[in-house]
Amino acid sequence: MSEQTSILTTHDLHMAFGGVDVLKGINFSLFAGEVLGLVGENGAGKSTLAKIVAGVHQPSQGEINYQGQTVQIPSPHVATKLGIALIHQEPLTFPDLDVAENIFAGRQPLNGGVVNWNAMYKRAAELLASLSVQIDPHSKVRGMSIADQQMIEMAAALSQEVKVVLMDEPTSSLTPNEVAHLFTNMRRLRDQGVAIVFISHRLEEVFEICDRVLVLRDGELVGERVTKATKVEEIIRLMVGRQLSALCEKKTGANNGQLLLEVKNLSRTEKFADISLDVHAGEIVGLSGLVGAGRTDVGRALFGMLDTDSGEVWLSGKPVKIKSPREAMGYGLVYVPEDRQHHGLLMPMAISQNMTLSILEQLSPSGWLRGQAEQTVTNEYTEKLHIVLRNISQAVRELSGGNQQKVVLSKWLLTRPKVLILDEPTRGIDIGAKAEVHRLMGELASQGLAILMISSELPEILAMSDRIVVMREGRVVAQLDKADATQERIMAAATGQVLDEATIESNPVEDHS
């Protein structure tokens, strides 16, 4: 913190959605020139708090003091005018417009009432340059990477006199390089006196970038710590409100189980090449690598969603040609996609309807769905997976991220698979639910399933995998046993660096010199 002037203070902020209290009296101060971390489990109220400050939601009670005055922030527009910008997890850009207009949407520079395109392109280029990104202000945003779109949003925030930037999980879709670049820009802004609120599930990032951390739990502020004077364990304890080991470690299972999935030299032009890996019954194999390394494409190819050019896939010792997810399911192989909202769940539909989607044919032997059977099955899995719900006809949309993920898992487990491919199984879900999902994965493996887990979180990979396969730019670059694997080794393989073993010991990754 460069100076002790509070730029924004909230007093007793309350918020209720449909009778449920989401925020219960939040008092906090934000100082100019600091990065304030905002952490908490899903549903703790972080995003809601940010959205109130950014004018998206209106508090049901309480007030906001900004630059010494009590202010009303009835809309995002007003917030922007005040100098408060919100950067969303999924960038909210306009794909049909070019970069410059995305930056200046709604407040294009005018010259006598007429949009001044030249000035707009010039300003856009300057702003992008100040963020050290090479994006052409003239190109359309459709098809750009999340990181680029985020930089465009950032430039949009900077195009006005911005004093407070709220960032809601900005790093969740970025590669480590992109995260580093984002942090550089955040530090630069902070040094210019901008106050930044950083919401993240990734505690290591919070510790890297934040000066202070606020911990929210169930809509209440349960702790405020200076990052230098605290530890991850303490923050986690505050978040969940009880002592909890961050990750549930998988007990190394019977590695000599039957070979269930064998992939030999699988290739697909421009996606991946020469992929070989195998997974035994009872084993969890972690598929690691940077975002964009082609891991998801391998998963999708195995599930028949993506054609391959060459190579072989063997299931339970027999070569198979899988051309569609339906065939894959027939062979007992399922792929649980990363994006629950779009690929995994029908949000407005009931939990029971979502769960039984994969086995509708079994449940309707005469062509008519047997409601009783549907209920029985749903209740069984709800219990098995400890899904927290009001009743099974509740819409999936109303569940927390962790419980949604369990519904997705149930849906696939109902098909009684032998090989389970999980793509980022715990992305965007809170720590408590994460541990639950991990425990479940361990159980499934011990029941004899072969699990291939794609994950971007190194601690998760290390804790859960019996073996680790690392991909880089569409190729397998390393296969590590649990005993040999370290974060540094995986990262080195994933980024294509050759590390001297001695350096690993003496130079931990946190060292940025």
Interface residues with other proteins (CB under 8 A)? 56, 75-78, 80-81, 86, 88, 92-97, 101, 105-108, 110, 113-115, 132-136, 139-145, 147-148, 151, 156, 177-178, 180-181, 184, 268, 270-271, 292, 297, 305-307
Report in angstroms how near the CB of residue 86 gets to other proteins at its nearest.
8
If the CB atoms of residues 194 and 213 are measured against other proteins, the closer one turns out to be 194
Beta-bridge partners for 267: 310
Q: Rounded to the nearest 10 degrees, what angle do helices 401-413 and 431-446 cross at?
A: 20
If the CB atoms of residues 267 and 486 are measured against other proteins, the closer one turns out to be 267
The Cα–Cα gap between 56 and 92 comes to 14
The secondary structure of residue 71, as a DSSP letter, is: E
- H/E element, 310: strand 310-315
If the CB atoms of residues 209 and 464 are measured against other proteins, the closer one turns out to be 209
Report in angstroms how near the CB of residue 43 gets to other proteins at its nearest.
22
Would strands 284-289 and 450-454 be described as parallel, antiparallel, or unpaired?
parallel
If the CB atoms of residues 309 and 505 are measured against other proteins, the closer one turns out to be 309
The Cα–Cα gap between 422 and 433 comes to 16
Report in angstroms how near the CB of residue 271 gets to other proteins at its nearest.
6
| Cα atoms in the 13 Å half-sphere on the side-chain side of 438 | 26
Q: What is the largest CA-CA distance in the chain?
A: 77
The secondary structure of residue 368, as a DSSP letter, is: S
Report in angstroms how near the CB of residue 116 gets to other proteins at its nearest.
9
The Cα–Cα gap between 205 and 512 comes to 13
If the CB atoms of residues 128 and 240 are measured against other proteins, the closer one turns out to be 128
**292's tokens:** 């964009």
The alpha-helical segments, DSSP class H, found in 320-400 are 325-330, 351-355, 360-363, 371-384
Cβ atoms of 439 and 406 closer than 8 Å: no
Phi, psi values for residue 478, rounded to 5°:
-160, 145
If the CB atoms of residues 94 and 207 are measured against other proteins, the closer one turns out to be 94
Report in angstroms how near the CB of residue 79 gets to other proteins at its nearest.
8
Report in angstroms how near the CB of residue 90 gets to other proteins at its nearest.
10
If the CB atoms of residues 291 and 320 are measured against other proteins, the closer one turns out to be 291
Neighbouring CB atoms inside 10 A of 483's CB total 6
Report in angstroms how near the CB of residue 117 gets to other proteins at its nearest.
8
If the CB atoms of residues 140 and 418 are measured against other proteins, the closer one turns out to be 140
Report in angstroms how near the CB of residue 64 gets to other proteins at its nearest.
18
Report in angstroms how near the CB of residue 224 gets to other proteins at its nearest.
29
Q: Which among 338, 302, 318, 314 has a CA at the least distance from the CA of 264?
A: 314
If the CB atoms of residues 303 and 381 are measured against other proteins, the closer one turns out to be 303
Cβ atoms of 454 and 287 closer than 8 Å: yes
The residue assigned the tokens 């007093």 is 11
